[in-house]
Amino acid sequence: MDSTAKKRWVSLYVENDVGVLAKISGLFSGKSYNLCSLTVGETEDPTVSRMTISLYGDDKTFEQIIKQLNRSVEVIKVLDFTDLPIHKKEILYIKLHSLRRDEMEDVFRSASVFGVTVTDYERGSLILECVRTEAENDEVLRYYKKHFLSRMEAVRGGSVAIESVSRSDR
């Protein structure tokens, strides 16, 4: 990674239409950018979707991508969240299996400490749900990997973000 590269956050309002995701992601791959996270969902208007994209990039190339996005017919609005106060969260699911009773008790206790929800459980297995920042989810994942790596499965969704209504960074 380039030494001038930094973490970027972009939010796009786009037409909710077939092929738009492929076209937008192709724009980034054409500039040899590897996206860290990309989420897409319908907005309050079913004809419009909102994409939240995170990536690492240098100023010059990132500026070119923003210009290209703004010229794209399918893109309604581009918001560069990189230096703005935003609220962002990511979802993480962790499935643990083949746990002894004492390990199950430990997981319930640790989940409580982390503020993580146990969404499903059965004898010796459970699923944890974490809706937190990317960094907080990294910490949760590190903890469970350390103790249960061979008996776990993890699934992460991309972050979603929205600009703060107050000027303080969340």
pLDDT in tens, 3-36: 678 889 999 999 999 999 999 988 888 777 778 8
The band of 170, judged by pLDDT with boundaries at 50, 70 and 90, is very low
Distance CA(139)–CA(48), nearest Å, equals 34
pLDDT in tens, 48-85: 999 999 988 888 888 988 999 999 999 999 999 988 99
- From residue 30, how far is each of 34, 74, 141 by CA, in Å? 10, 18, 32
* 161: Cβ contacts below 8 Å, ≥ 6 apart: 9, 11, 52, 81, 86, 87, 88
Is the pTM for the entire model greater than 0.85? no
Output the CA torsion 13→19→22→28 (10° steps).
-50
